[in-house]
């Protein structure tokens, strides 16, 4: 759980003791074993072990408790809702468990088509993607699944999704590319038969061209500096892709790996590498020893002072 997405407890502190009590309660309720640790940047790492169902349940509870929540609405044809629910709601429960989200489907008597997904940003992205794929599968229009290695998805989407949006507009299709946080290779295309065929052909040509020509290079960057390369909502890596045509692959937040991988035209890797280093070094962190009694004054009410300090230092 990144520091800037952590929930503050009622004492306006990071509350290690309270965190341990909460984890103990989750372990008791789920049967999973949880280990918690805090990094220098105040991010939290949880190691959850046990039976798969117990681990997934514990993960969902941990994220809903320790990480700030958001919500998103997705409009899905009413006749497709039953496929999202599944028999006796089993498919919906599975979706919620796999994405650590809460998914609210309007009752049958309600004419609304909006499904509400609540959870972390990554969880919402995964859930919305899966919901849209389920809906597209039930559509009477043409539907295709194509497997493209995930590392090539950024090039198919383009910076700020420009390529994929243009392709959908030109072919009249809906193309679902898994979110970056998901380890899924399958891209789905739905629409009229000719449009789907055209979109599929263009995506495959792009992929095959990239597979032959593109090179990769790995660079070591301190884990604490990764967020500055990534940028808010991925704007940092999107800018690099837009300006150089090189994708930046970041290791997962819960990974200890510090290697950032650059992939793209060989003659552009140098420029992209310079941009990565520039962003990584744009903000520096330092450790300051301060007695525990002063922490609550630094953090402030509901973390406001902490957020102000962060803003002022950037």
Residue ranges of domains in the chain: 15-66, 70-140, 142-213, 214-282
- Which class would CATH give 214-282? alpha beta
Return d(Cα 209, Cα 215) in angstroms, integer: 12
Tell me if 142-213 shares its fold with 214-282. Answer: yes
Q: 127-185: per-residue pLDDT in tens?
A: 999 999 999 888 878 899 999 999 999 999 999 999 999 999 999 999 999 988 888 99
Lowest-confidence segment of 217-226, 250-259, 265-274 by average pLDDT: 250-259
Strand ranges across the sheet with 142-147: 142-147, 186-191, 174-176
- Per-residue pLDDT tens digits for 251-261: 877 677 889 99
- Per DSSP, the residues of 228-255 read HHH-GGGHHHHHHHHHHS-EEEPPPTT-
Summarize pLDDT for 97-121 with one digit per residue, the tens: 888 889 999 998 888 999 999 988 8
State the pTM of this model. 0.62
pLDDT of residue 90: 92
DSSP 8-state class, residue 299: H
Long-range contacts from 158-165, C-beta under 8 angstroms, 24+ separation: 158/241, 158/242, 159/238, 159/239, 159/241, 159/242, 160/238, 160/242, 162/242
Candidates 255, 156, 164; CA nearest to 206 is 156
Q: Which of 208, 160, 279, 259 is nearest to 271 (CA)?
A: 279
Share of the chain above pLDDT 90, in %: 46
pLDDT confidence band for 286 (50 / 70 / 90): low
Quick one: which H or E segment has residue 145? strand 142-147
Strands 174-176 and 186-191: antiparallel
Using DSSP, state whether 66 is helix, strand or coil.
helix
3-state secondary structure 199-226: HHHHHHHHHHHHHHHCEEEEEECCHHHH
Buried b (16+ CB within 10 A) or exposed e, 36-66: beeeeeebbebebebeeebbbbbbbbbbbeb
Tokens of 191: 């629409």
Q: What angle do CA 190, 193, 194 make, to 5 degrees?
A: 115
Residue indicated by tokens 């380890």: 183
**Dihedral sign (CA 61, 65, 66, 67):** positive
> Residue 76: which of 104, 115, 126 has the closest Cα?
115
Percent of the chain exceeding pLDDT 70 equals: 85
pLDDT of res. 20: 82
| pLDDT at site 205 | 93
**Cα–Cα–Cα angle for 210, 254, 10, rounded to 5 degrees:** 135
Element housing 115 (H / E):
strand 114-119
Q: Which CATH number fits domain 142-213: 3.90.850.10, 3.40.50.300, 3.30.70.100, 3.30.1370.10?
A: 3.30.1370.10
Round the average pLDDT of the chain to a whole number and report it: 85
- For residues 175 and 167, the answer to whether their CB atoms sit within 8 Å is yes
Homologous superfamily assigned to 70-140: K Homology domain, type 1 (3.30.1370.10)
d(CA 94, CA 254): 23
Cβ atoms of 229 and 248 within 8 Å: the answer is yes
Cβ(229)–Cβ(237) below 8 Å? yes
């Amino acid at each position: 759980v990144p520091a800037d997405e952590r929930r503050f407890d009622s004492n306006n502190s990071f509350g290690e003791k309270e965190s341990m009590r909460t984890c103990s309660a989750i372990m008791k309720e789920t049967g999973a074993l949880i280990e918690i640790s805090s990094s220098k940047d105040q991010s939290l790492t949880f190691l959850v072990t046990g039976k798969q169902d117990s681990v997934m349940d514990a993960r969902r509870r941990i994220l809903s408790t320790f990480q700030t929540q958001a919500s998103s609405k997705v409009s899905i044809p009413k006749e497709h809702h039953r496929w999202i629910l599944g028999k006796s709601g089993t498919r919906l429960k599975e979706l919620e468990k796999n994405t650590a989200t809460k998914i609210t489907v309007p009752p049958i008597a309600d004419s609304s088509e909006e499904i509400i997904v609540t959870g972390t940003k990554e969880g919402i992205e995964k859930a919305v993607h899966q919901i849209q794929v389920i809906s597209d599968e039930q559509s009477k229009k043409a539907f295709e699944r194509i497997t493209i290695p995930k590392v090539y998805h950024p090039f198919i989407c383009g910076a700020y999704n420009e390529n994929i949006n243009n392709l959908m507009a030109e072919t009249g299709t809906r193309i679902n590319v898994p979110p970056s946080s998901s380890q899924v290779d399958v891209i789905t295309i739905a629409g009229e038969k000719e449009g789907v065929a055209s979109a599929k052909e263009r995506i495959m040509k792009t992929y095959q061209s990239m597979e032959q020509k593109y090179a990769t290079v790995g660079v070591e960057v301190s884990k604490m500096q990764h967020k500055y390369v990534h940028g808010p909502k991925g704007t940092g890596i999107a800018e690099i892709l837009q300006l150089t045509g090189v994708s930046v692959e970041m290791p997962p937040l819960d990974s200890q790996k510090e290697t950032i991988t650059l992939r793209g035209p060989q003659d552009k890797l140098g420029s992209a590498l310079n941009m990565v280093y520039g962003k990584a070094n744009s903000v520096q962190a330092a450790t300051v020893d301060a007695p525990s009694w002063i922490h609550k004054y630094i953090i402030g009410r509901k973390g406001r002072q902490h957020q102000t300090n962060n803003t002022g230092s950037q």
